């Protein structure tokens, strides 16, 4: 039983490190964000192992869910080509 | 080696990976993700060190600090992403001018 828990802990730590490396190594930004969300979920498991279930819940909801949604929304806003300004709007801004 | 040591070492490695990303990566969204990695590593070290009490019951003060830090890090991430959106809208770039290729026109 104890060795099984050790295997679980080592697997969790190894997957955390691997996910962090892959997050920075992937060329695709969308894939990097999805890997970061996965890292947050694995981190929630690690905190449940460290006797901190309240932090695990907060991490799963805020760290993985809310941060991932913010990152994905920003990625969509960045990659979308900006709408060209109409002449009337442009003069309004310049004035 | 105890569980607390294992997770603390893992947290330090996460912090190191995040620091590498902040320094090396050029895209600003990747820098924000790396900053979040650094924060996660710090929280992991704190919670792992809170686990090292003699009676086996984890210390609750670092837990409260980490819980506060999670919320603060999310709001800081939101502020950074809002700044990134504004920067992209004004300059059409996603890298800082330190990394941008030197072009003839500086108004881009």
What residue spans define the domains of chain B?
A: 3-91
Closest residue on chain A to B78 (Cα)? A70
Residue A22 has pLDDT above 80, yes or no: yes
Average pLDDT rounded to a whole number, residues A41-65: 92
Residue A91 has pLDDT above 60, yes or no: no
pLDDT, residue B97, reads 74
pLDDT, residue A88, reads 56
ipTM above 0.90, yes or no: no
pLDDT, residue A66, reads 94
Closest residue on chain A to B93 (Cα)? A78
Please measure the distance between the N-terminal and C-terminal CA atoms of chain B and give it in whole angstroms.
55
Distance CA B46, CA B105 (A): 48
pLDDT, residue B106, reads 47
A56 at interface of B, judged by CB pairs closer than 8 A: no
pLDDT, residue A84, reads 62
Q: Kindly list the distances between the CA atom of residue A20 and the CA atoms of A5, A93, B73, in Å, as whole numbers in the listed order.
A: 23, 43, 18
Highest CATH level, class, for B3-91: mainly alpha
Contact: A36, B29; criterion CB under 8 Å: no
B34 at interface of A, judged by CB pairs closer than 8 A: yes
Nearest-by-Cβ selection for B33 from A21, A36, A82: A36
Helix axes A29-49, A67-79, angle to 10 degrees: 170
A69 at interface of B, judged by CB pairs closer than 8 A: no
Chain A residues close to B47, C-beta within 8 Å: 47, 50, 52, 55
Average pLDDT rounded to a whole number, residues A58-82: 89
Distance CA B35, CA B100 (A): 21
A78 at interface of B, judged by CB pairs closer than 8 A: yes
Average pLDDT rounded to a whole number, residues B70-92: 93
Residue A15's φ and ψ, nearest 5 degrees, are -70, -30
Distance CA B59, CA A26 (A): 38
Q: For the ranges A34-38, B55-59, B71-75, which has the lowest average pLDDT? A: B55-59
d(CA B52, nearest CA chain A) in Å: 10
């Amino acid at each position: 039983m104890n060795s099984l828990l050790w295997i679980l802990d080592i697997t969790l730590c190894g997957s955390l490190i691997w996910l962090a490396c892959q997050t920075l190594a992937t060329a695709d930004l969308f894939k990097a964000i999805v890997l970061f969300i996965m890292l947050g979920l694995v981190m929630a498991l690690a905190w449940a192992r460290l006797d901190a279930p309240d932090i695990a819940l907060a991490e799963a909801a805020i760290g993985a869910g809310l941060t991932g949604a913010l990152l994905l929304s920003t990625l969509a806003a960045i990659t979308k080509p900006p709408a060209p300004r109409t002449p009337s709007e442009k003069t309004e801004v310049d004035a | 080696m105890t569980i607390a040591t294992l997770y603390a070492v893992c947290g330090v490695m996460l912090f190191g990976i995040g620091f590498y990303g902040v320094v090396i990566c050029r895209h600003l969204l990747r820098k924000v993700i790396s900053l979040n990695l650094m924060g996660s590593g710090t929280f992991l070290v704190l919670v792992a060190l809170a686990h090292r009490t003699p009676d086996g019951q984890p210390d609750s003060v670092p837990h409260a600090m980490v819980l506060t830090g999670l919320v603060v890090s999310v709001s800081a991430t939101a502020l950074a992403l809002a700044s990134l959106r504004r920067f992209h809208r004004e300059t059409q770039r996603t890298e800082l001018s330190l990394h941008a290729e030197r072009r003839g026109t500086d108004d881009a």
